[in-house]
Amino acid sequence: MSNLDRIADSAPQSDLELRSLRRLTGTWKVSGGAEGTVTYRWLPGEHFLHQDIDLTQDGQPVVGVEIIGRLKPFGADAAGADIHSRYYDNAGNTFDYVYDPSADGDTLTIWAGEKGSPAYYRGTFSPDGNVLSGSWTYPGGGGYASVMTRIR
C-alpha cells in the first residue's frame, strides 16, 4: 500500500461542512463577469481543496490557485470553525475568503476577507449539481453574475 493509499484511507469523515464542498470537484466552464475554466481537486487526506483558475476578466488574463480548508495554525490542537481560503494569482494578488456552504449544501456563500463581509459571492447549485449560478456583490454597488457549468 502506498502512502497516498494510506492517506486516502484516513480521510476525515466527520467534517460534513467541508465534505459538502466535494460537489465542486471537477472542471467547470465559467461565464459571466469572468470567462474561462476552473478545476477543483482534493489534496491527499481531503483536508484541503485546491482550485486552479484560468480566466479572462475585464480583458485581462487571470491565472491563479486557491487552497480551501480549515485553518490549523502551528501548535493548534484543532482546526478552526470556518472554512478559509487563500488565493494567489499572476498579478501578485493574495486574497482571503471564507467558504460558507448552506446546511443542505445547495447554496454556497464565499465571503471576501471575513465572514459577514459586504463583499461576497452567493450561488445556488442546480438540482443535478452540474451548474452553480450566482453573483458577486461589492460594497457601494458593482459586482457581476457568474455561472459555472461542469464540463468534467
pLDDT at 1: 58
Please state the φ and ψ torsions of residue 135, each to the nearest 5 degrees: -155, 155
Residue 2 has pLDDT above 90, yes or no: no
pLDDT digits (tens, 9 = 90+) for 68-98: 999 999 999 999 999 999 999 999 999 999 9
pTM: 0.90
Q: In the chain, pLDDT over 90 holds for what percent of residues? A: 85
In three-state secondary structure terms, 6 is helix
What distances in angstroms separate CA 19 from CA 39, 41, 74, 100, 109, one per listed residue?
Answer: 17, 12, 23, 12, 15
Grid coordinates in use for 93?
494578488
Instruction: Give yes or no for residue 116 having a pLDDT over 70.
Output: yes
Which residues contact residue 114 at a Cβ distance below 8 angstroms, ignoring those fewer than 6 apart?
Answer: 96, 98
Q: How far apart are the first and last CA of the chain?
A: 29
Work out the pLDDT band at 16, boundaries 50, 70, 90: confident
pLDDT value at position 13? 52
Confidence of residue 5 (pLDDT cuts 50, 70, 90): low
* Average pLDDT across the chain, whole number: 92
CB neighbour list of residue 93: distance below 8 Å, 6 or more residues apart:
64, 87
Query: Which residues, including other chains, have CB under 8 Å from residue 58's CB and lie 6 or more apart?
Result: none
pLDDT at 60 over 80: yes
